[in-house]
Structure 1
């Protein structure tokens, strides 16, 4: 909501962080340089453990395995800016493939293992990968069968002889896990053997040519409202965040960080937060390929995890796991005291994470943030302040005009981690005349320069003349005992414009009372934010995207249909 006054330099909703040159803790700003720096510093430490397949690599092993992949890629013809698709869960080979691609001068294309066949077809078409490295079986999906269904050439050609007309740049495919004999898809061992005659000095020379401004990775938007967009991020932007997350979490080599995560590294947030902060601090990644709450708790106990990285809905599932009451989680040190996981009787923590942050895949994660353990009075319910090099502007979503501090509008960002652009879209169609990226998110800046994120502009609920952020309600819902999933939407209403409605999935075995939930919400939310209706669903009723998001448009429709029948 605008104040109606024209902004002046003193009142304009524009806030810049400190100069990037003043940011402490940054190392080499290319992926090959990052890997070289951490593996030299922590060579004999354990970089990763993958209990599911018995893999354990030191940092020196990680360096050698990445170089092994790089040699094989060069033998396959990968060179400057060649795109290499990596379609795997969190496993050791994912790290070797992505870092190996950078050492070979290529661009790692992070592909989601949640992709359906049509989604994967879209990702392969827009990314233009020349080599595809993938995991054969993920849960119930056989990606060998999926890929040969998409490109019959893969099923009929000799190994290493792909000449795809469906994907005209694709020339090689290699699989981790079960081989796919009788096809053009090579086994992982055969793929690596391709590089046996590649001179290691060639990889060293190639890695040395990589510049911070070069494209490092291609990640994809979550695609909850349209087909995913390919986002090109530069080496500088990616590595700034890898080093930065270590600083934001306050980690040092002395902390001996042991990070468990089951969230895919093909999502930029997990790549930066879990992988970046851990490796930059010389810690150990404890890998779980697919999230299973009971197995995750056992892993945390057996591997003496200190730093769990998960989504809120996963915390709720952990609480509902059958071994919740018997597992020993006393090793967990870096777990936010306000998260459900911190309620476990064996955990004693007063630590708070740097979770008060705002970011996008387009900025390769965080743009604003407060460091771990920042006092609540400093945070003041905000999403942080601009990080070094970044500038935040609040603009009128219709006219693009800069608003005043305190005015609600569209969050616009620019800075050193901003993407190089979307695949297939000219940059001048993405940025405004001042170089800002308009995020589509709503929010405002206060007089202290703090950003307040209010959700997607299209998701803000307008009820009785007031704006309600679904995120704010959802955060309170998540804290209510027995709530596994809670999502808030606005449903059309004759007099209010929109009515606030909460859609709740209870934990198995829990019976929840709508009136009791509303009473709980009233203690923490203004009355107009409290949902007028609480609707209960099963998890199967809700359509979850690959990143565990629920499409707001679908949920609004589902809620409206339920209300109409009731």
Structure 2
């Protein structure tokens, strides 16, 4: 059955000599890239890695990281990307949960590696690097050309960000990765002329799934940055001149905060995307100014859907439908249910979204009960996200069903208030949530981070909210904070904020 390695081999034949992947020092054409994937798959076999065995990887983006993703289709092992920000306890939790045969951990993370060495002895083979020179293995001809996996075989276990609980391993299949690429190619018109920069981390589903993997699948080229840093990313953009660019919202904040950002003009970029958190209108305008030939896109999805299910293709679509994240792509069915999972009569919403399609994950690793809660027996994924659709078919994300604040008998969507606060020119980002209150039930509270070089006053922000929101939606209290705790995907971890703010309110 089709897989991403098979497509890379197709591109090796169709576009001989075409550069597939590159970094600051190395360029590999598709044929060389596929040989590296085969060599790594065989090398891991020497440590007992067989079909279905897990290999965890903790490190920066790299060519080998991508090659290992493709190598899963050759011998059928499962790759488990690990967040490089994990501490010892979090890493040990993941290892205990997925029981990898091998842990590839970057030498730069030697401190955490040394801390867990005794606990892993005899359980996991720990490697700090991979050999540069490995022979192309002698594999059966069909395996060399097409790999040796089926659609439903698991390729990746991606641990979700854990904004409310311990991370859980979402199992993505080879079929999921293929269909995600097909969706992007069909919906955005990506082809072999596309070039992208990979700066988003590969331990996050957006790193490979949003734009970057599809560009490679289509026969385009992917330039890899080990990790995001505003100045080096901008320098690389000027040098590489990509056609497609995806960055998380927090990354866009880093770029747009650069003093000279708006002095640049990057004409090559034809498609720009962001995701995760709201961006102020002025930041969006600056992005459109620098990437003046690009269509600007939002998007909606999650790890369990192998990223994207809703997205616009053209800037004018979201400009004429303010607040929309786009429209449902053609290979998905969707429906709206209430909190008891009953089908709503009005299928325009607002309602809790359930989706069905070829990119929906196969479940959570070793968590059958949670899988049954999230995934119905006939394949509907319960997203927990509240969506509505307008008369033109454009979708609006109203927040998580668990991210609604009940205050004074009224329901307030945290996202609506966050979007309002983000429109203020002195605000970099904001998080809104409820804390218990004897009179209101829940008190509406906001934590706000000032934009670079700005000071912000809580009273001024509350007045600003009153100009744009109903009175019951205006936060009762606004705390100015130095920063917000983020997950690897850029989402604010509100459970940590609630603990901090609740402690302040109790004083």
TM norm structure 2: 0.87
Distance 1:498-1:128 versus aligned 2 partners, 3 A rule: same
Matches within 5 A, 1:509-548: 509-522=453-466, 524-539=468-483, 542-548=484-490
User: In the alignment, is residue 549 of structure 1 matched against residue 491 of structure 2?
Assistant: yes
Matches within 5 A, 1:381-530: 381-397=323-339, 399-405=340-346, 406-426=348-368, 427-428=371-372, 430-432=374-376, 434-444=378-388, 451-522=395-466, 524-530=468-474
CA deviation vs aligned residue, 1:399-455 (integer Å, no higher than 9, x gap): 322122155443222222221111112354543355423223233456666544322
Contact 2:181 2:214 (8 Å CA) reproduced = yes
Q: C-alpha distance in 2, partners of 1:103/1:546?
A: 29
Distance 1:58-1:379 versus aligned 2 partners, 3 A rule: farther
User: How many residues matched?
Assistant: 498
Distance 1:373-1:491 versus aligned 2 partners, 3 A rule: same
Q: C-alpha distance in 2, partners of 1:506/1:545?
A: 20
1:149 deviation in Å? 4.4
Distance 1:288-1:37 versus aligned 2 partners, 3 A rule: same
The aligned residue for residue 3 of structure 1 is: none
Secondary structure of 1:44's partner?
coil
The aligned residue for residue 19 of structure 2 is: 46
User: In the alignment, is residue 37 of structure 1 matched against residue 10 of structure 2?
Assistant: yes
Contact 1:71 1:200 (8 Å CA) reproduced = no
Query: Aligned-pair RMSD on alpha carbons?
Result: 3.2
User: In the alignment, is residue 95 of structure 1 matched against residue 66 of structure 2?
Assistant: yes
1:326 deviation in Å? 5.7
CA deviation vs aligned residue, 1:139-171 (integer Å, no higher than 9, x gap): xx64532441432x2xxxxxxxxx42xxxxx3x
Q: C-alpha distance in 2, partners of 1:367/1:346?
A: 27
- Higher relative contact order (Cα pairs below 8 Å, separated by 6+ residues): 1
Matches within 5 A, 1:247-396: 247-254=186-193, 256-257=194-195, 259-321=196-258, 323-324=260-261, 329-335=266-272, 340=283, 342-343=285-286, 347=290, 349=292, 351-355=294-298, 357-373=299-315, 375-376=317-318, 379=321, 381-396=323-338
Contact 1:71 1:198 (8 Å CA) reproduced = yes
Matches within 5 A, 1:4-19: none
TM norm structure 1: 0.78
Pairing partner for 1:145 from 111, 114, 119: 114
The aligned residue for residue 173 of structure 1 is: 126
Secondary structure of 1:458's partner?
helix
Bigger CA radius of gyration: 1
Contact 1:298 1:327 (8 Å CA) reproduced = no
Q: C-alpha distance in 2, partners of 1:251/1:204?
A: 28
User: In the alignment, is residue 86 of structure 1 matched against residue 47 of structure 2?
Assistant: no
Contact 2:248 2:489 (8 Å CA) reproduced = no
User: Which one is further off, 325-334 or 216-225?
Assistant: 325-334
Distance 1:288-1:483 versus aligned 2 partners, 3 A rule: farther
Q: C-alpha distance in 1, partners of 2:312/2:237?
A: 27
The aligned residue for residue 278 of structure 2 is: none
CA deviation vs aligned residue, 1:10-67 (integer Å, no higher than 9, x gap): xxxxxxxxxxxxxxxxxx731222222333334423323322xx22222332222212
Q: C-alpha distance in 2, partners of 1:303/1:283?
A: 13
Distance 1:428-1:330 versus aligned 2 partners, 3 A rule: closer
1:472 deviation in Å? 2.7
Contact 1:297 1:327 (8 Å CA) reproduced = no
Unpaired segments ≥5 residues, structure 1? 1-27, 154-162, 165-169, 177-187
User: Which one is further off, 404-413 or 288-297?
Assistant: 404-413
Contact 1:411 1:443 (8 Å CA) reproduced = yes
User: In the alignment, is residue 242 of structure 1 matched against residue 195 of structure 2?
Assistant: no
1:311 deviation in Å? 1.6
1:284 deviation in Å? 2.9
Distance 1:346-1:424 versus aligned 2 partners, 3 A rule: closer
1:240 deviation in Å? 0.5
